[in-house]
Amino acid sequence: VLHWYDKRFPEQHRGTSELAPALELFALIDRYSKAVVQASETAADVALIFKTDAVDDAGAYSIQPPQSGESPFCQIPWARGMTITAPEGWDAKQVNAEQPSASYSMLVNEVLAQIGSALGVPKLLMKNSAENYNYSSARVDLQQFQIKTRLDRRSLVSTVLNPLFRAWLEEYS
Q: Which residues of the chain have pLDDT under 70?
A: 45-50, 54-78, 80-86, 95-102
158 DSSP 8-state letter: I
Contact 55, 49 (CB under 8 A): no
Contact 37, 100 (CB under 8 A): no
Give residue 76's pLDDT.
66
Q: Whole-prediction pTM value?
A: 0.58
